[in-house]
Structure 1
Amino acid sequence: MTTVYYTHLDAPVGPLLLTADPDGALTSLSVPGQKGGRGVRDDWRADPGPFRAAAEQLAAYFAGERTEFRLPLRASGTEFRRAVWAALDEVPYGTTVTYGEIAARIGASRVAVRAVGGAIGANPLLILRPCHRVIGANGTLTGYAGGLERKLRLLTLEGALPAGTPGQPGRGAALRAR
């Protein structure tokens, strides 16, 4: 059995649970209440060591000082899901795309938009793989496994939504390991 390492980080969008494989590649980043999110299992090993770079980069992201992540990621999924996730990786900071645009980027037909949405919803690496940047065709914030409030906060942080939206977080909030 392969060892799964994990750690918790406190972030401006709530507590984060990160997991990594023995090689140090991140396998998931999830939040409490996340649809399909992970929970700590008894056979996992708590160890913040493999997550130092991720903690530093996430802290810089939440402080508005980092716009992309340079971390080893290893999430398992079907070929279709991996294609969708690779398309997510190409969505620039501070921008949004629609589910239809992601479908087009991977060469899928408009009929496949629902399947694309399912693959985006199954993304095990929230924030790091920016599924929060995908919006509905009519510009609405639709679906986010971490909850629409988090999606709104992330898009506001990135400047993809108007600054000063009431009740939205400012930049510079600290990220703390726990």
Structure 2
Amino acid sequence: MTLGTIEAQVLDTPAGPLAMLARRGVLLAAGFTTAGPEEMFARLSPELRAEGLALNGDLGGPARAVRDYLDGDLAALDAVPVEQPGTPTRQRLLTALRQVPAGVTISYAELAERAGLPRTAARAAGSACAQNLIAPFVPCHRVLPSTGGFGGYYYGTPVKRWLLTHEGAPAAERLRSREEAR
């Protein structure tokens, strides 16, 4: 075990193992990965990686929030403090993304608009989602392409589908029915 200031924990979830990294109670990375917390750690900036990784077993608040979310408190993840790098525009997009409630899906253009950007900034919204380091706490799974379907998701469409279904998003039910009909 490496002693470091960035602590890691992995929780088993119905969507797969969820690795989380935090420093002083603030979540820096989270994602569904079978490769463990090292995969998430590798995605951090060189400055953060220099702090080292500690596999401590229990992050406290973030772990409780995940358990509560899985038990049906769909707003539990919203209270966990998060921090990730990005330009001022990306920060506005991530803040707007964090305000999309569970059970609601929006388009990339709508995310841009909610961040105070023109709807034509949908590509920037897509980029912010693709580079999001803190899923599902920063819920990029709630953004769907306006052309239909689930779109991409760093951790795979089955994980995105599971999250949306767990949250009761009507779009997930419609999309699943369409896919099953094919």
Instruction: Report the TM-score, using the length of structure 2 for normalisation.
Output: 0.78
Aligned to 2:115: 106
Aligned to 1:156: 165
Aligned to 1:29: 30
**Deviation of the 1:39 alpha carbon:** 4.4
**Deviation of the 1:17 alpha carbon:** 1.1
Percent of aligned pairs with the same amino acid: 32
Distance 1:33 1:102, change over 3 A: farther
Is 2:125 the partner of 1:116?
yes
**Deviation of the 1:102 alpha carbon:** 0.6
Tell me how far apart the structure 2 counterparts of residues 4 and 92 of structure 1 sit (CA, whole Å): 28
Deviation track 1:83-135 (CA, whole Å, cap 9, x = no partner) reads 11101111011010000001111222233211210111111110111110000
Q: Residues 85-96 of structure 1 correspond to what in structure 2 (within 5 A)?
A: 85-96=94-105
Q: Which amino acid aligns with 1:130?
A: P
Please identify runs of 4+ aligned residues in structure 1 that moved more than 4 A: 39-42
More helix by share: 2
**1:38 alignment partner, SS class:** helix
Instruction: Report the TM-score, using the length of structure 1 for normalisation.
Output: 0.80
Q: For the aligned residues, what is the CA RMSD? A: 2.4
Where in structure 1 are there 5+ consecutive unaligned residues? Answer: 167-178
Which segment drifts farther, 64-73 or 116-125? Answer: 64-73
Where in structure 2 are there 5+ consecutive unaligned residues? Answer: 43-48, 178-182
The count of aligned residue pairs is: 160
